Every structure is written in structure tokens, then in C-alpha cells.
A and B are shown apart, each in its own frame.
Chain A
Amino acid sequence: MQEHLEQDSLALRALGEPVGAAAEAHLEQCEDCQAALSEPTAVTARAARVSAEDRDLPPAPGHLWAGIAEGAGLAEAARDDADDGRAEDHRPRGHAAHAGAAAEGHTDPQASEPAPGASPGSASAAASLPAAPPTGGDAEVVPLHRGPRRAAVGLIAASVAALALVGAISLLPVETTEDPTARVASAELDALDERSEPARAVLAERDGRLELAFDELRLPEADGYYELWLIDADVEGMVSLGPLTDGETVALPEGLDPAEFPIVDVSLEPFDGDPTHSGDSLLRGELAGLDADDLPDA
């Protein structure tokens, strides 16, 4: 007898994908599954009504601001914002507020996500891009070997390119707080194949130094060792942070700017004496601000 539908299947079914005859038959007579399906279906039905026009909203013209500032009775200092451009002017404040929220342990799911007015066309533009191989695919990282490892780096580059399509990086300036560790950014690490499970890397500041810690990192036993890398967004360079084991926190070398190397990568390296990336990655994700997923993982 077919069991209850899993959450992933319910989500796909809500999007109109087929889930198989057995699952459909079960769904027909199971009220629990029907009820569980109604929640994601309500969301997908609302999304289905959204048109391309709805998704590409031009920002309100800046000349409207003066009337708002006056009507709201803002102090002169706040009104002056109208004269010196738009969203760019607010980065420092947005950053500071965000980092502050982070230091307080605030983990709202939407934290750090782009506001719709900030880049109206970027989402759809990014979504429509194919996962094309990057132009910098033959980047030389560590020019010790030029043989097979070149191909490996090309492979890494191609798959990183998909990941870096949108590249909404929001690394935050670190604020000094009482808390000895202040979270700076995090990366959801995708499991690139069956060997591993998704994990999360958290970049935090401790005593003025940046360090990477990992949640739910479970590296399987393997022939070789795991190595942690930070890769730049153009996939033209990478920095090794050394061998990695479960539960380890890795300090970043002083002076290394994670904004320049926002992609976190964990590779399996053979003991072959070759210090370059093997091209055999298990986990990868991009440091993308504080979007800690606080939803229950059903």
C-alpha cells in the first residue's frame, strides 16, 4: 500500500508535476495528504496568476520623495536624501542595521534578500540565463600543474557558474559588539552528489578575525582527505583553507576578503601530492548574507 506522500512530492504535485499512479491513488483517498497538499497548492495557485508585468516593476520616480518627506514632516536631514540619488545612498545604513540585527541573533528568513525596487529586472534576467560555461573556465589557480587539473578547474568553473548566476552577495561590514562572535554571512551548501547532505557554512567574526563554521556537516569516510576552498565569483581564482573535518571551525587568513572569494567549496582530495583542487567537490554554496533558514525541516 502506498504510504503518505513526502513533503517534496507534495511540493512537486502542487506545481502540477506528476507524482505517479500509486501516489495519485493514495492521494485520492487520504484526507491527511489532501490537507497537506492544499497548503503549497494555495501558494502555487497565487503564483500562477502573476504575469511578467507584475514581476518587473519600475521603481517609483525619485521626484515623489520630496512631497513624501514634507508630508511626513521629516527632519531636514532626512529630506535631503532626495537630492543625492537613490538606493545607493542607503547601503551603509542598510548594512549597519542588518549587521546589528545579526549580532542580536535575528534570523528572519528574508534578511538580506534584495528589495524588489532595488533591482527590478535582475531576478527574471538571471532566471532566464542558461547555465553557460564561464569565459574564465581555464583559470590558472595554482600554476604547478597544467595537465589534467586544468580540465578539473574547468569543470568546477562550469558548475560554479550556475551557482553564481545571480550572485546576490551581501557580505556585511562587521560591527563591533559585546558578543565575542558576530555572524557576518552564511552559505547554504548544496550537496553536489549522493555522497553528502546539504550543510551550511557560517562566517562569523571572533576577536576581530573571521572564521568559518559548519552546521550539519557530515563528511563521509573516503579515500583521501577533504579540503576547504573559497572561490571567487568569476571562478578565476581560489584559496585553499586547508584540510577539513566535521565540526571544525576554520579561521580565515588575515587580510583575505571573503567578498572577493564568496563561494565555499569542499572537495575530496587524493593523497597524490598535487596541491591543486582535484575537481571532485562534494559541497558548494555561496556566501549570501544572513538568510538562515529557520523553517522547520519536515
Chain B
Amino acid sequence: MRLPRGYGVLAARLTRWILMGQILRQAVIGLLCLWLHHAYADSVIGECAMRVQFTVGGGIAYLPGLAKPVVIDSDQLTKADVTELKRLVDAANFFALPSKINPPRPGAADYVQYTVTIEQGEQRHTVEWTDLAEEPNLQQLRIFLQAKAKAARAGEGRGDAPD
């Protein structure tokens, strides 16, 4: 079917504008992604994102407010904190640790129990340990997480996480 004179030109121009618009849109998105990737190259994009659940239990008393798990998302941390968190997790060789580390001897009581679950990409691992058996590398990770838990609770009100 032939279009009337003038309509063909209009159709050609419309097609060209649409194509140019799409190209422009793609270019803007591309530039935005490049900027994001540059800005957060070391941290939170895609499979590098890390989600940590930190629970402190046990101790001489059950304190419901302090026993609640604290979730720490890497996308809510500063770039420096994300770098430090990743370093601590790597130093502890966290994903290769057994799920329970040196359970306490019989008769022991009131020690604090730490439970940390980390999700990163396809990996998900939980490790439990106590005051009685804390590896130096896990100690550094625990101190970092406790500081973040304290900051999170400070947002809700006064206080600190139980050690």
C-alpha cells in the first residue's frame, strides 16, 4: 500500500526520532551505570554485596532487647567500612569455618554465645562461637560487628550490644 505524499516523510522522521531517542536513552543509562560502577567499584554492586546477621545470646541474664539479631547490609555501610568488613571476613576465612567452634566444656555456664550468618552472592554460612573459644581473627570480626550493632541500636535509643 502506498502512503499519500507527505505521510511517508512524516513516518520516516518519526522512525528516526524514535531510534535517536532510544539511542540517547541507552547512552544516558550507560553513562549512569559507568558512574555508579566507578563510585562503588569496591563494594556493593551485584554479587559483592554482603548481608550479615549478628546475634548475641547467653550471658548471665536474658535481656530481650539485646538478644534481638542485628542485620548489617553492606549497602548501608561506608566504602571504608565495607572494605574493612570484607577484609575481616576474609581474614577469618569465614566461609570455611565449621558451624560451631570449640563448644564449651561441661559445667560451664553464663558465657556469651555469638552467632553470625553472612550472605554473599551464592554463599551463605553461619558460625557460632562463645567467649570461651574466640580465635583472634574472629575476635576482630566480632568487635567490628558489635560496633555496628551498637550504632544501629543508638539509632533506636540509648545503649550498647551485650558483649
**Bind each other:** no
A-side residues, CB < 8 A to B, are none
B-side residues, CB < 8 A to A, are none
